[in-house]
A and B are shown apart, each in its own frame.
Chain A
Amino acid sequence: MNEILELYLAFMKIGAVNFGGGYAMLPLLEEDLARKKGWVTREELLDYFAIGQCTPGLIALNVSTFIGNKRKGVAGALAATLGFLTCPIIIILIIAMFMKNFADYEIVQHAFAGIRVCVCVLIIQAVLRLWKKAVVDRTTLILYLVIFFLAVFGKHLIFAVPTAVLVIASGVFGVFFGKGGGESK
């Protein structure tokens, strides 16, 4: 029971400060769960984000469910997901009840312009730390560059490729050309 509660609280804390959506969750997960608690490895985090991106549902919830399940099965998955949801639900309920023009306050806009700067630095630092777990040779470097280019500039191309399709294609590419399972390419 204690571990379930611990999962709930850990994810509640992350849910409370997870500004900027699913990907912004990565630096927080890495610090709290991978580095401090050792609940997941950095490779697993990357795997969960990849799968969470191409399966239905919000990425943040998918990743919470994965980590919770890894720790404590179905109960853990529920604890993590509910924990992550707790603060956003309470905050939006308060906003909906008392201050619908929350985002229009000048002080809120300035605060979040500052937070956005911080979030992008945290994401970039997380990328630098996780880089060598994912980009292990020339093939993975090329794959990284192609997906990165398509994800950033894809929306300006004639036909935009949905990110989920890019991820699935990378997985399929890995099956055919990847290293692993004791066999080289």
Chain B
Amino acid sequence: MTIIMLCIQFFKTGLFSIGGGLATLPFLYEISDRFGWFSHADIADMIAISESTPGAIGINMSTYAGYTTGGIPGGILASLSLACPSVIIILIIARFLEKFRENKYVDRAFYGLRPASIAMISAAGINVAMVALFDLNAFQASHFIPDLFVWKGLILAVLIFIGQQKIKIHPVAFIAASALIGIIFKF
């Protein structure tokens, strides 16, 4: 019975959290308050774990909550419930687009949507950079401009940037190398 409730709750989270990622957080806090499957501290831990594992936080949290309430099947079912609305809604939209892709209004909508899309992706890049390359706390404490930058991070960023232009290898190789460099040089 709990598993069914769990699936319903995560289906609901998948259905109403628009924008993904952190948009799932308010729903997770609500589930925590109402059902007590996991605590607020668990959510905080899961944010940290999500930053250190692949996958979106919504998926990670649903797997974790599903596991704590219903074992391995619970973890799998809760995640699939979260994914369900995405699949259904996108399939409907995709059908609509196939039908109206030649329509001039749909075409014009994409003229506006593409710069918005690339702007949001840029903003996501800047947000990661604010954490990875800049240290606002240290700067506010000292007001010493060199403290604003995470120098090790900046050097690595420049090396990756040049490396990506020069060497044609898969981005995953750079991700793995960065993890190693992070461990060796204690980022």
Residue numbers of A with Cβ under 8 A of B are: 15-24, 26-28, 31, 43, 46-47, 49-62, 65-66, 69-70, 74, 77-78, 81, 85, 87-89, 91-93, 95-97, 100, 102-104, 107-127, 130-131, 133-136, 140-141, 143-148, 151-152, 162-164, 166-167, 170-183
Contacts and interface: CB of A to CB of B under 8 A. Distances in A.
Contacts of A61: 14, 20, 56, 59, 83, 86-87
18 contacts: A46-B117, A50-B117, A52-B20, A62-B89, A65-B86, A74-B91, A114-B179, A118-B175, A120-B128, A126-B121, A134-B117, A135-B118, A136-B111, A164-B18, A170-B113, A177-B112, A181-B105, A183-B104
Contact of A118 (B48, B116, B117, B160): B160
Contacts of A89: 55, 59, 63, 75-76, 79
Contact of A56 (B18, B117, B160): B18
A31 B19 CA distance: 24
Chain B contact-residue range equals 35 or more
B15 interface: yes
Contacts of A93: 63, 67, 72, 75
B174 interface: yes
Contact of B113 (A81, A110, A171): A171
